[in-house]
Structure 1
Amino acid sequence: MKKVLITLDYNPNSEKVVKMGYEIAQLMQAEICLFHVLSEVRYYGMQYEPFMGYEGYAFPVDYKIQEEFVKVAQDYMEHTKNHLKGDNISTHLAEGDTAKNILEYSKEWNADLIVMGTHSHGTLEKLFLGTVASSVLERTNIPVYMVPTEN
């Protein structure tokens, strides 16, 4: 195993996921890619007519907001990379469905291991929405190391 894909979100518990993933990669002398997905950023800049009595989306929005979200995410990953102070660490930012992007990029990058956190969600939320972790586990051929985190 020579490539470890470590998934990040903005949850403060990501630090635990990164630390565990980094330790595993160090033991394997593996290359690391820190991976983050922005969920459909384009929707943050949409302007809609009032609906159901809600006018929150009816105001003009700065369409550069997407660029700002991307800059913040890139800065977050670069900061995390520098914090690790290791060699052989890259970053990758994707946009869209989180599980789908993790699965696609892990294949594209030829990852040998995916490291990701699991957040506690209620039973109803899991039943109706599923979780990113379960979606990845159900559809990958690559080993996945799950780091339990608390919300």
Structure 2
Amino acid sequence: MEINRILIGIDDSKYAEHAAEYGFELARKFNAAVGLVNIVEPVVISQATPGIDPLMGSALQSNAFEEMEILDIQKDISGNMVDATIKKYGEGLQVTHFTEYGSTADGIINCSSEFAADLIVLGTHSRSGFDRLFMGSIAEDVVRHSEIPVLVVPFKEAKAR
């Protein structure tokens, strides 16, 4: 088995940061290139009738943040997150970064194909029971649909005493 290219999925959670640290350590051990992906899920601004407030039925004032401005803000946040992760863990490694838009699981799988990854590394919240049922699991979705191995790195919170 050769692992030459590792794709690491990140977001702004401690779970993803823990997985990123683990993924970068693996990349060093295998002398592998790293692909770092952050998925920006679109913000939906619902408006049943353009220009009409759906609750009050009155005309809406022009919103200061149009959808494109929100997308630009999300893109900047994603870029800052990727840059910070590379700075913290990626020294001396070849790192390619991706910012994708849309469904998180699909975006990760698409990036793994585009990057020609040999392994995907993701964090997980270690949810179970009703939390998992209602919240879903991006990691589980990636595991189910990926054509390459997926390493899911759990993160357990330290219990308060």
- Taking structure 1 as the reference length, the TM-score comes to 0.85
Match of 1:77 among 74, 82, 85: 82
Q: Kindly name which structure, 1 or 2, has the bigger radius of gyration based on alpha carbons.
A: 2
Q: Percent identity?
A: 26
How far off its partner does 1:47 sit? Answer: 5.6
Q: Alignment partner of 2:14: what SS? A: coil
d(CA) in 1 for partners of 2:126, 2:56:
31
Q: Alignment partner of 2:110: what SS? A: helix
State the partner residue of 2:147.
Answer: 141
State the partner residue of 1:66.
Answer: 71
Segments of 5+ residues of structure 1 without an aligned counterpart are none
d(CA) in 1 for partners of 2:23, 2:14:
15
* Cα pair 2:123 2:153 within 8 Å, conserved: yes
- Taking structure 2 as the reference length, the TM-score comes to 0.80
* Cα pair 1:81 1:90 within 8 Å, conserved: no
State the partner residue of 2:13.
Answer: 11
Cα RMSD between the aligned structures? 2.2
Q: 1:40 to 1:25 in 2, by over 3 A?
A: same
Count of aligned positions: 145
State the partner residue of 1:32.
Answer: 34
Segments of 5+ residues of structure 2 without an aligned counterpart are none
d(CA) in 1 for partners of 2:74, 2:150:
28
Segments of 4+ in structure 1 off by > 4 A?
none
* Cα pair 1:47 1:61 within 8 Å, conserved: no
d(CA) in 2 for partners of 1:87, 1:73:
20
Aligned letter for 2:4?
A: K
